[in-house]
Structure formats: structure tokens, C-alpha cells
Structure 1
Amino acid sequence: MYHNIMELQKNWYFIQVGPLDERAQSLPLPDSLMGRLVEYVVTHEIGHSIGFPHNMKASAMYPADSVRSPSFLERMGGSHTATLMDYSRFNYVAQPEDNIPLEYLIPKVGPYDHFSVRWGYSPIPGADTPDDELQTLDGWAREQDRYPWLRFTTADAAGSDPEALTEAVGDADAVKSTTYGMRNLERVMSMMLDVTEKPGESYDELENLYGQAVSQWGRYMGHVTAIVGGAQTQEKYGTGPRFEPVETARQREAVQYLDEAAFHVPEMFLNSDILRRIEPEGVVERFRTQQNRVLTTLLSQARLERLIEFEALAASEGDAYTLADLMGDLRAGIWNELEDPTVQVNTYRRNVQRAFLEVVDDRLHPNEEDLNSNFNPTSAPWTSDIRAVLRAELEDIDLLAEQALARTSQNMTRTHLRDIRSEIQRILGGNGN
């Protein structure tokens, strides 16, 4: 098990479902609750010891609205995920008004686990050799067509499946489940100071939990990012296609959500009552780092290549979310202040705009180690449409910045826009590319 698992479990439980359980609204957590949290982890590890691999797809097989229903959870064994072998953690999708029984907030043995026991350990009468078992095993495996909660992670999906995520609940619709999760996170932030502040004690716990909340926000944004350039999968052997690109409308919805929830810093994290207790500075850089991570993931080489490939394969149908679509939607979000009648760009938005240029620069000018590494092979950007699209995007942003300069009287915004233009010219002319 992970070192100091009790601290990890305490952090996760408080941050994810603290508003749903009065026991988690004071610290330390009671021994009875901590014992149940440790039991959950131990049971997961026992699953490995009897041969069960991880199945990160299981949490996506229960719809987000369903895991808010006590009757649905009861029918599925009292758990919001189909297996303990997922990294689903706690039911952050549930809301206080749902009145979910507390024991249903923690994952339990589910239908996929029972299926795995049957697959791995049930004797098959009349089967004398492994080959004799195949027909029966194939029949069992095909039950996933009727019961989606028996589906398992596609082995060679290469990170493309937005339904095979870690730390997720209801991830078949990550925008909806993340919206619910963010509501609970706002509740956590509103009670965090009262829970942690104790006369005569340091603010170490407040600092820890604030950082945990920001990290949880980053995880949520990662779940939504996975939709873009994603392909839903179902493992099959000789019975049909296994990969299906995510619908265009869902990808566009995901980018719009990221603009609202990732590229604008949520107000709940800018509480000066908390920040002035834990640090003299750091909040600006903390969110610049998180937003850079979101953009780095969103504009990963593999994701951009998938968008190009999906467009090529859908050429006859004309229905694909393209790389150009992504760039246009990002421009409309990240750079939207540049089209306002009076242009003002605040500190946090200046940071996300610089982070965008930093990531694009990395894509256009990957270092030689990345290009040649056997462990992380990366195709050169000039071998695909990526280079052309990114360079064209920089030129469009440069024009926006040039025009915006005439519509700002704010000194810091003017300085920022000039710096943006200078940085774009450096990137476009850099390294001879």
C-alpha cells in the first residue's frame, strides 16, 4: 500500500465528500471512519493478490445522475463504481440534497468483481484443457454487450479513452460529473477555515487541505480534457470496431467548460482569509502551474495527432472536431479579452495566455531528447498539419494583440500585449523553423 495511506485517505475523503458526511466536518476523522477507509484500500490490494488487474473503465459505466440515486446505488451493491479495482475513490458527484447513505460514498465490491471471480475461478464442467474453456469464456465476456458495467479497460487504447480515467466518478460524462464535483469543492472551501483553525495550533493542516483542493480541481480539469481528441473504446476480439471518436458536440462542450472552469481561476480559491494565513505569496504561480498542466495535456502531441486522424477518416462525412476547431475555440476563450471594446487583461489571465504560448512553443520546437527518446517517441511537428495550424494560430493571435493595443489604456495590459507580440515573433522565427 501507499506510504502513509491514512493521511492520503483523510485528504481525499474530506476534499471529495466532506460536505456529505458530518463526521468529516471536523478533524481528525473518527477511528471508525478511518478504519472503513483503510478497509477499502486493503480490499483493493487483496484484489491484486488474487489476480485482478486495474479496471479504470468501471466508474464510467454508471451515469453521473445514477450515482446520485440511493435506489440505484442500492441495486448495484451500494457502490458508485462497478469494481473495487478502479481508482474511483469517493462519490463526489453526490450532492447533499440526494441524501446518499454514508456507506454508499465509499467503493465496495461490485458486479465486475463478481464477474472476475467467476471468470478466474469458476470450474467449467467438461473442459479438460484451456482450449476447451474458450467457448464458455467467450460467452461470459460477451455479457458486457448487455451489461456495460462488465466492460474493462482496452489494453492498447494508449490513453485515448475518456471513459478510462483515474480518480473519476461518472466519467462517461465528465463535464456533468465535474460540475457536480466542483459544487462540492465550493462547499469544502467554504468550511475549510472553520474545520482547520484551532487556537494554539499552526496552519499546516489548512495549507495542506488548500493544496489538496487545488489538486482536486486540477484532476477534474484533466477528466474534461480527456474528452478532446478522445475515442471511446470497448474491448473486442474479432467481433467489431473497438474505437469510436467522441462526438464533435461533446468535444466542443468540453473545451467551453475548460474555458470557464480551468482558464479562469475559480473565485473559491482566491479567499484572502485563507491565503493570508498560509503564505505571503504563491497563489499566482500556483494557478499558472496548474493551467500550464491543463494546456500541456490538452495540446499533447498524441491528442493533436488524433484530431488530425479523426478528421481524415471522417472526410466523407464532414463531421469531426478538427485541430483547427480546437484552436479556434481556445482562441475565443483564452484570448477573449483582446476583442473587448476596452481591453483589460488581469494577472491570472495574463498567465494563462503566456502559458498557451509556452506550450505552443514546446510543440513547434521540441528538444532533440524528446524526438529521439526510445521511451517517449515524439513525431516531429513538421511531419503533420500540427506545425501549419499552430503557426497560423500564432499569426491570428498576433493580429488580435496588435489591434487590442489601440483599445487599452491600462499600462500593465499594454506591456503584456507588447510582450505577447514579441514572444510570438520569437516563436515563429525560432530555431530556423
Structure 2
Amino acid sequence: MKHIIRITLAAIVMYSKLYAAERPLSFDKFYKASMKITPGTFTIYQDNDKYYMEIPAQILEKDVLVIGDITQGYSSLIAPSSGVIKFSQGDSSHLNIIRQEYKEAVSPSYNQEMEPLVRLSNLVPVSFVVKIEAYGKAPGSVIIDLSRQLREGGQFFSFRDFNALSRPDPERSGVQTIKAANDAVTFTVLRTQTDQSTQGGGKKMEIASAFLLHLTFQLLHDEQMQGRESDPRIGFSTVAFNDFGKSPYSVKNVKLIRKWNLSVKPADTTAYQNGVLVAPANPITVYIDRNMPSLFVPYVEQAIRQWEKAFAAAGFRNVFQISRNEEDNRLLYGKLLIKWGSVYNNADQSVIADPRSGEILAAKLTISEHLADNLLPWYFVACGLKDQRVISNFNNLQVKGELLEWVTANAMGELLGMENNYSGSNAFSTSQLRNTSWVKTHGLTSSVTDAIPFNYVAQPADQLPVNTLIAHVGAYDSLAIGWAYKCFRNEQETKQYLSNISYSNTALRYVPQENNDPFTQRLDLAADAVNASTLGIKHIATLYPQLESITAAMPGGDQDWALFDELSKAMLKTYDGYLKNVLWHIGGQSERPVLRNYNDTPVVYVSKKEQQQAFNFLEQYLFNGVPAFMKNKRAIRLKGETMDEAFQRMADAIIARLLNTDVLASLVAAENTMGNKAFTAAELFTLLDKTVFYNFSTTIIPDAHHVSLQRSMVSQLIQAVSKNAITSGLNGANEVLHVYFVHTLKNIDRMSKTHTDSTTRTRYQLLKQDIEKEYLMKPL
């Protein structure tokens, strides 16, 4: 009995010690006179290498913005864990951390009796918990330990998917500074780690990486932004949830657009409603990195001013407050940072938005000179004949600045909440794009969010000023910003704004991007793709034969032919791009939003005439072989690939596209919808027979280029029918494909026996053997 009592007493003592260890300390026991204190909304206590944060009672259950931002290093990543959280009391020793998720709501229109039911039925998930180390000095406040979260990473500031920051070494990582202001505290933290890398030959090397981070907690204001529902006529990114109050009898999926919270000062309300431009109550602070070369800063500022013009449509002026003050070099609420960093192919954009209202809370854009360098060869090919600056000096700094202005203006669309409008580049005709007066007024695209940077349609004889050759904020951009950011007095005003958008006005039309949509391709320009690409090729036809002499005359003389090689490749790549712009029109279809009094045609098919013209263009500039102006012995020696091989490579890709079942399905659908007004799969195959096989003539001897085309055609056809076997069932696309395959096989068999030229007969026999080996011998 005594033994049992001893065991019981020992267990009680052990439990009491464990409970005491788990229980938060009182402030008096926690606090040391040697601690360094950073006072603020979130007071920080530093005890040597330990960092504690006090959370006042009034902040519990309030919205807190948490941001992890790489401010220096070879990445510009924002931690995916960044966003809105709430600190909520858990058990007596822990805080619950709740990340804001918003899936259900009740708006004030209908079903208000549903609101308490929705609220009670939703269990808010706890993302993670943190231990309460001590009670704060003020009643109800608590103190948590952030030391490991700051040095090593954790759930507040998680970079676990970024390998170079996934396991920092705590011995080489630590807090550099602490700054408290604007209801926020920001820790500047160095994180360092070493990784193993396997080099050529299997040799292993250690690679050390270091990043300087800004890790921030910021208390947000209580009032949420009034959300704006999305509309298919204007492209904005969205947040979505189910709303029980939008319909009296059902649940409606609501999509709210992402946008910054711009509002009108009460004193300016009357002026605003009378059409006077006013400054917003809460302008967006734009910090431009002090590390950005001073040469490029004016171009970045000009890109921002382009968007100021768009905000005039929303009734605002002075929306952006540009700063280069290092005090603003923190990613906080209402701030947009434009950083100068390590990006090579595309600008790096990040947006942090509230999932409940769509409000953009903060954003970051990273650019570099590399982005201008990447665009320069393309600009040389597209605009060199019209801009002597790049002909005389390829690395002209003024041109680089103008290209960076476009990069910034293009990226700003996404940072303001917009989706890219890739239909903006085909809003205008080629004749309009060659008219100085038109381009000065309207630009070369209706939206700078389109991916096309410059005007390759205009010709030297058109004499367009060089400052009109690069895209700027256009009519659609002003329309979109006007609708998204205007403070409408009521729902009727909002609907009236939208009703004024005419579908027939191509400059104001938004078309969501689809892979097979010929009108939303990233690099197209003008409403007439064939004419536009023909005009683009005219530049290459003039420039390419002169390329050796042009590069030789540039500073440095291009002694090692490196610049010639770079520009030669750029010309071939651009040429291929012009072919692809036209290619997408064959079998092209475009899905359009259907709305009453706006548009009632859900799918638009490319006309028969345009598709026939597109094929004729491909025949002229690809299937007929290398044009004389593209033949250059110097390029062959440098590239290691003959121009014939390059053209065959391009032809392989284009033939594969023409035989793709997506294209064939579109042609079948168009024929079912339009009847004899449609360009059909049978007509496409007839053109391929004519172009590739000379209509299977028994007397025409194919040249070397057509011999290669025929091999490619057979190879691509075998692959297509193999991937789309009819054993699993017939559909319109695989049916016409297999009919054409049988047709081709019969003709190849006939040609292998009846062609008048013995060598050609042998080639057809080999093609027939390829088909038998690769397809006919396979089980169906």
C-alpha cells in the first residue's frame, strides 16, 4: 500500500512539474532587465539570440498581414505563406493561428436568416498553433517565441518549396535589424545554407547560398474593402466563394475581382461625382529600388505615369506616390515595391490579396537589365529598319530604357489585378498600324497587358516616329481600370458603365486566353495575321542580307561574329514566330462571353477565306523551301545547322500542328455549324496533298526539300493515327484523320508502283515500308 502511495505521489509531483513547465510565465518571471525592447504595436523583446513578440489582447481575433519577402539574393520570391492571419486563443498555453479562408458568405440581398446558420455551421480550421511563453505586461496580452521561425523558417514565413531556403543553417543565420512602424514590425534576417551539387563527371561540390529577408507582422484596419463582382467583358483575376444571399432560392458562386482599395476622401465626394479628378484617400506607395541604375529610373517612372492616365477613367489622379526613400523599402500594406534583381526571362510579379474581398494588400515587381537585353534582338529584327539607333549601336541605352518601360508597364497590369488581354494586339488593322496619326493617338495595341512589345507591321516608308514603335497603355486598359476602380454611387451606375461596352468595338473587347484561340496568341499583331506576318518578313528580307556589314560597322566591329550569330538566330526565331502567328488561324476557333445585349455568339470560327490565305502563306514562306534572302553561309558555319535543316525543323512542328486532333475537331465543328461556308478538314488535306505530294503526280520529281516534307508528313501522320486509335470509339476528329491516312497510304502504294522516275518510286516504297513497320504491323 505504501508502495502505491509513493508511486502516486511521484506521479503527482511529475505532473505538477510538467504542468508548470507548460504553463506560461508571468511577465515578471519572463522579463529581464538585460532584454532589448523594440516598442510598437507588436513589442519585441530580445534576449541575446532569442526573440519574443508580444501580442496585445485587442489584436486577438483581428486581421494581421504576415509577409516573408526576399529582399536580397538571387531570388525575388515572396513566401507562399504570406497573407492574412488571425491570432486566436487556444488552450491556456497556446495560440491558434488561423489563415483566412473564405468559402461561404451571406450578402445583404436575400436569405438573411441564413447568416447565423452559415456562421455556426462553419468550423474555422486552425492552420497551426504556437506556444505562449509568457503573459504580457498589459492585461490579456501574450508573448510568443519567434527565434526559430526567424532564423530557420517556419509556418509564419515558409519558403519550404524554394530549395535554396528550405533548410537554413541556424549557426550562420540570424536577425540583423528590427524596425517597428505603421502598426508593423519587420525583422531583417540573414538566412544561409549549403547544398550539395553534382557537377559533370559526378564530382560533388558544396554550394553556399545566402538571402536577406524582410519578415513582417502588420495589423490591418478593421474595415474591409467593398468587393466588386467580376464581369466576363473585362478581365481581372478573382477570388471566389459561395454566397447564400445573392438569390432567394439558391446558392450563387460569386467571383470578386482583385484590386487595390482606392476610395474618395469625404471632402472630395461632391467634386468626384461631378467628374473632377481627385486624389484617392489612400494612394499606392511605389518604392523604386535604390539599386536600380539611375539611367533606367525615369523609364520605370514613365511606365507608372502611363497607368496614371488609365486611372483618370476611374476619376482619380495621383494614384501612385513614387518613393526612393530607403524607409519605404519594406513590403507593407498599400505598398508596391519595384526591385532591381536577378530575373532573366520575365519580370517577376507577386500579389498578396485578401481572399474575402479581393483587396490587393501589397505587391512586388522585380525587373533587371537582362529583360531589356532579351528583347533587344527581337526589337532589332522587328524595328531596326525604322530605328537607326539599334542599327548603329545594338546596345543603345536609350532603347534599353524604352524596352524596360514596356516591361514595367506590361507587368503593372497584373499588379493592378488585371488579366492579360491577348486580344488587344489584333484590335487594329495593318493600315492603321502604319498610319502615324492613328498610332500616335491609339498606339499599336489596345492593351499593354498583351505580350506584343513593338510594331513589326509598320514599314520604313511609313516614317513612324521611334517613340510610337513600342506599346503603351491603351483604350482597353483605361476601360478596365475605369470599371474596376471607379467609386460608383449604386449598382445601377455599375451596370450602366458595363452596358456602354460594345462587342463590335474591338479596341474594348476582352477575350480570355485559350491555347487554340488564334486571337489570343502572345506574339500576334493586327486583325489580319497573314498581312501582318508578310510585312514582318519584309523586314527580315531586307535586313538579313545586310547583317554581316551592319554588325561589322557597330562599335567593336563584331570581331568574333558573336553579335552576328545572336542576330541571325533572332531573325530565324522571329521568322518562325511569324509562321506560327498565321498557323493558329487554320482550324482556329475562339470562345467568347455570351451576355444579353452584348454578344450571342459563343464560338467564332476563322473564315474559310482567311484559312485558305493562311495555308497559302505557309506554302510560300515554308513549304516551298528556304527563300533566297535567308541563305547565308556565315550563319551556317556559326549555327552548326544548315538553313534547310532549320526550315525542315519548323516544317515538322507545323505539320504536326495541322494534323493535331484539336485542329481537326475544330474544323469538323465549324463544318457542322457553318456548312459550306466553313473551311473543312477535307479541304486542308487537299491542300496538303497539293503542297507536300504534288497531288501524287506520277511525273513530277520532288526536290530535296519536298522529299524531306514527305518524310515528315508520313512520320507525323503515323504518330497522329497511333495516338488517336479508332478502337476506343469514333469521333469527328479521329474519323477524318483515319480516312486521310487510308487515302494517303493508297496513294503512296500507287506511287511506289507507277511513278515514272525510278528513284522516286523507290522513295515511295520506303515510305510505304515505314507505314507498314510503324503502324500497320501494330495490333489495332
Verify same fold: TM over 0.5.
Answer: yes
8 Å contact from structure 1 (residues 9, 38) kept in 2: no
- Listed one character per residue, the Cα deviations across residues 296-321 of structure 1 (whole Å, up to 9, x for unaligned) are 2222221111111222233xx43322
Partner of 2:717: 360
TM superposition shift of 1:209: 1.7
| Structure number having the greater helix percentage | 1
Q: What is the one-letter code of the residue matched to 2:531?
A: K
SS of the aligned residue for 2:419 comes to: coil
Does the alignment pair 1:104 with 2:468? yes
Q: 2:543 aligns with which of 181, 188, 208?
A: 188
TM superposition shift of 1:398: 4.2
Where structure 1 has 5 or more consecutive residues not aligned to the other structure, the ranges are: 372-378
TM superposition shift of 1:326: 1.0
Does the alignment pair 1:215 with 2:570? no
- The alpha-carbon distance between structure 1 residues 281 and 12, as it changes in their structure 2 partners (threshold 3 A), is closer
**Counterparts of 1:190 and 1:38 in 2: how far apart (Å)?**
29
- Listed one character per residue, the Cα deviations across residues 274-329 of structure 1 (whole Å, up to 9, x for unaligned) are 23441454434322221111122222221111111222233xx4332211111111
Q: 1:419 aligns with which of 749, 752, 766?
A: 766
SS of the aligned residue for 2:523 comes to: coil
Partner of 2:585: 227
Q: What is the one-letter code of the residue matched to 1:84?
A: V
Partner of 1:135: 495
Does the alignment pair 1:23 with 2:389? yes
Q: 2:622 aligns with which of 262, 274, 277?
A: 262
SS of the aligned residue for 1:237 comes to: coil
Partner of 1:274: 634
8 Å contact from structure 2 (residues 721, 741) kept in 1: no
Where structure 2 has 5 or more consecutive residues not aligned to the other structure, the ranges are: 1-342, 346-369
TM superposition shift of 1:159: 3.0
Q: 2:613 aligns with which of 244, 253, 258?
A: 253
**Counterparts of 1:246 and 1:255 in 2: how far apart (Å)?**
13
Partner of 2:415: 49
TM superposition shift of 1:388: 4.0
TM superposition shift of 1:338: 4.5
Q: What is the one-letter code of the residue matched to 1:310?
A: A
Partner of 2:440: 74
8 Å contact from structure 1 (residues 323, 389) kept in 2: yes
SS of the aligned residue for 2:604 comes to: strand
8 Å contact from structure 1 (residues 307, 323) kept in 2: yes
TM superposition shift of 1:98: 0.9
Partner of 1:383: 730
- The alpha-carbon distance between structure 1 residues 361 and 139, as it changes in their structure 2 partners (threshold 3 A), is same
**Counterparts of 1:67 and 1:352 in 2: how far apart (Å)?**
36
Does the alignment pair 1:331 with 2:714? no
8 Å contact from structure 2 (residues 579, 618) kept in 1: yes
- Listed one character per residue, the Cα deviations across residues 310-357 of structure 1 (whole Å, up to 9, x for unaligned) are 22233xx433221111111111111128527341321x2222222222
Partner of 1:86: 450
Partner of 1:375: none
8 Å contact from structure 2 (residues 631, 643) kept in 1: no
Does the alignment pair 1:122 with 2:480? no
TM superposition shift of 1:409: 4.5
Partner of 1:159: 515
Q: What is the one-letter code of the residue matched to 1:345?
A: D
TM superposition shift of 1:93: 0.7
SS of the aligned residue for 1:431 comes to: coil
- The alpha-carbon distance between structure 1 residues 430 and 194, as it changes in their structure 2 partners (threshold 3 A), is farther
Q: What is the one-letter code of the residue matched to 2:711?
A: R
TM-score by length of 2: 0.49
SS of the aligned residue for 1:56 comes to: coil
TM superposition shift of 1:80: 0.8
8 Å contact from structure 1 (residues 57, 153) kept in 2: yes
Q: Percent identity?
A: 21
Q: 2:376 aligns with which of 1, 4, 10?
A: 10
- The alpha-carbon distance between structure 1 residues 201 and 380, as it changes in their structure 2 partners (threshold 3 A), is farther
SS of the aligned residue for 2:723 comes to: coil
Partner of 2:84: none
SS of the aligned residue for 1:166 comes to: coil
- Listed one character per residue, the Cα deviations across residues 191-232 of structure 1 (whole Å, up to 9, x for unaligned) are 222223465722222222222211111111111111112224
8 Å contact from structure 1 (residues 80, 107) kept in 2: yes
**Counterparts of 2:746 and 2:575 in 1: how far apart (Å)?**
33
- The alpha-carbon distance between structure 1 residues 210 and 148, as it changes in their structure 2 partners (threshold 3 A), is same
Partner of 2:129: none
Q: What is the one-letter code of the residue matched to 1:419?
A: L
8 Å contact from structure 2 (residues 656, 716) kept in 1: yes
Q: Which has the higher contact order (CA 8 A, sep 6+)?
A: 1
| Structure number having the greater strand percentage | 2
Over the aligned positions, Cα root-mean-square deviation in angstroms equals 2.7
- The alpha-carbon distance between structure 1 residues 380 and 60, as it changes in their structure 2 partners (threshold 3 A), is farther
**Counterparts of 2:635 and 2:524 in 1: how far apart (Å)?**
28
**Counterparts of 2:457 and 2:463 in 1: how far apart (Å)?**
12
Partner of 2:740: 393
TM superposition shift of 1:399: 4.8
**Counterparts of 1:200 and 1:34 in 2: how far apart (Å)?**
20
TM-score by length of 1: 0.85
**Counterparts of 1:146 and 1:50 in 2: how far apart (Å)?**
26
- Listed one character per residue, the Cα deviations across residues 89-144 of structure 1 (whole Å, up to 9, x for unaligned) are 211111111111111111111111111221111111x22xxx5664234224xx23
Query: For this pair of structures, how many residues does the alignment match?
Result: 408
More divergent stretch after superposition (178-187 vs 205-214) = 205-214
Partner of 2:751: 403
**Counterparts of 2:644 and 2:504 in 1: how far apart (Å)?**
49
Q: What is the one-letter code of the residue matched to 2:414?
A: H
Q: Which structure has the bigger radius of gyration?
A: 2
TM superposition shift of 1:175: 0.8
- Listed one character per residue, the Cα deviations across residues 361-414 of structure 1 (whole Å, up to 9, x for unaligned) are 2211129xxx9xxxxxxx988522444433443444345444376555474x45
TM superposition shift of 1:235: 3.1
Does the alignment pair 1:306 with 2:670? no
**Counterparts of 2:402 and 2:614 in 1: how far apart (Å)?**
35
